[in-house]
Chain A
Amino acid sequence: MDLAVYLETLPPVTLQRLYQSKWTCQAVLRALPPLAKHYVLRLLFVERPIPARLIDSWHAVKFRSTHELAVEKLARLQLLKPATSQGETMLFLDRTFQASLQEAVCGRGKLGMADVPQDVRQIQPQTEQLDKYARQQWETLLMYLVGSAPCPPSSAPLLGVPSLEFDPILDTAGLTAADARGSRSITEKGFRFLLMDTYNQLWTLLREYLVDADRRSGQVLAEAISFMVQLGFREASHPLPAPAHSSKPDGKASEGHLQERTVSGHLAQLGLLLPFKAGGQVWLCPTRLSMALTGGSSAKSQQDVTEGFCIVETNYRVYAHTDSKLQHAILRLFIRCECLLPNLFVGTLTRESVTSALTCGITADEILQYLRQHAHPQCATRSPVLPEVVADQVRLWQADTQRVKYHTATLYHDFPRPEVFTKAASKAKELGAWLWEDTGQRTFAAITAFHPQIRDYIREIQHQ
Chain B
Amino acid sequence: MARLQPKGPLFTAQERAILLAPDRHTQTRKKLGDGQLLLVQVETSDQFWTNSSQRGHIISLKSTLQQLVVFIQTFELFHEENMIVLLAAGDTDSCILYASEQLGSLLGWHQDTTLAAPDQIIRSLEEWKPADHKEGLEKPAVSATLSRALCLLHKARATPATNKLLPRILCLHGSPDAASQYIAIMNCIFSAQRNNVVLDTCMLGSDNSAFLQQAAHLSGGIYLQQGSPPVLLQTLLTIFASSIHMRTFLRSPEQAGVDFRASCFCHKNLIDLGFVCSVCLSIFCQHQLECPTCGTVYGSSAGPSTMRNTAH
- 1/0 per residue, CB under 8 A from B, across A135-172: the answer is 00000000000000000000000000000000000000
The answer to whether B101 and A235 touch across the interface, beta carbons within 8 angstroms, is yes
- A108 contacts the other chain (CB 8 A): yes
- A11 contacts the other chain (CB 8 A): no
The answer to whether A35 and B113 touch across the interface, beta carbons within 8 angstroms, is no
The answer to whether B80 and A296 touch across the interface, beta carbons within 8 angstroms, is yes
* A105/B250 contact (C-beta < 8 A), A38-B242, A41-B237, A42-B237 known: no
The answer to whether A105 and B70 touch across the interface, beta carbons within 8 angstroms, is yes
The answer to whether B114 and A114 touch across the interface, beta carbons within 8 angstroms, is yes
Q: How far is the CA of A35 from the CA of B242 in the complex (A)?
A: 9
* A301/B251 contact (C-beta < 8 A), A38-B242, A381-B160, A383-B31 known: no
* A45/B161 contact (C-beta < 8 A), A35-B246, A60-B250, A106-B70 known: no
* A114/B113 contact (C-beta < 8 A), A60-B251, A300-B161, A381-B160 known: yes
Hey, which chain B residues are within 8 Å of A303, CB to CB? 161
* A300/B80 contact (C-beta < 8 A), A38-B246, A105-B73, A109-B117 known: yes
| B62, chain A: closest CB distance, angstroms | 16
Q: How far is the CA of A108 from the CA of B80 in the complex (A)?
A: 17
Pick the residue among A37, A58, A298 that contacts B251 (CB under 8 A): A58
| B245, chain A: closest CB distance, angstroms | 8
- 1/0 per residue, CB under 8 A from A, across B142-186: the answer is 000000000000000000110010000000000000000000000
Hey, which chain B residues are within 8 Å of A112, CB to CB? 113-114, 116
Stretch at the interface among A26-34, A186-194, A319-327, A413-421: A26-34
- A113 contacts the other chain (CB 8 A): yes
Question: Nearest A residue to B117 by beta-carbon distance?
Answer: A109
| B68, chain A: closest CB distance, angstroms | 12
Hey, which chain B residues are within 8 Å of A235, CB to CB? 101
- A275 contacts the other chain (CB 8 A): no
The answer to whether B114 and A41 touch across the interface, beta carbons within 8 angstroms, is no
Specify which of A57, A112, A381 lies most central, judged by the most chain B CB atoms within 10 Å of its CB: A112
- A406 contacts the other chain (CB 8 A): no
Question: Nearest B residue to A299 by beta-carbon distance?
Answer: B33
| A26, chain B: closest CB distance, angstroms | 6
* A300/B77 contact (C-beta < 8 A), A60-B248, A109-B116, A113-B113 known: no
- 1/0 per residue, CB under 8 A from B, across A34-69: the answer is 110110011011100000000001111001001100
Hey, which chain A residues are within 8 Å of B233, CB to CB? 45
- A239 contacts the other chain (CB 8 A): no
- A294 contacts the other chain (CB 8 A): yes
Hey, which chain B residues are within 8 Å of A30, CB to CB? 77-80
The answer to whether B234 and A63 touch across the interface, beta carbons within 8 angstroms, is no
Interchain residue pairs with CB less than 8 A apart (24):
A30-B78, A34-B34, A37-B79, A38-B241, A38-B242, A38-B250, A41-B238, A42-B237, A44-B74, A45-B233, A45-B237, A58-B250, A60-B249, A66-B249, A109-B73, A110-B101, A112-B116, A114-B114, A296-B80, A298-B33, A298-B34, A300-B161, A301-B80, A303-B161
Q: Give me the interface of B with A, judged by CB distance under 8 Å.
A: 31, 33-35, 70, 73-74, 76-81, 101, 113-114, 116-117, 160-161, 164, 233-234, 237-238, 241-242, 246, 248-251
Given A41-B241, A294-B80, A298-B34, 14 more A-B residue pairs with CB atoms under 8 Å apart are A30-B77, A38-B242, A38-B246, A45-B233, A45-B237, A59-B249, A59-B250, A63-B248, A63-B249, A67-B249, A104-B73, A105-B73, A105-B74, A106-B70
For the complex of A and B, 7 pairs with smallest distance between CB atoms = A108-B116, A109-B73, A105-B73, A105-B74, A114-B114, A63-B249, A300-B81
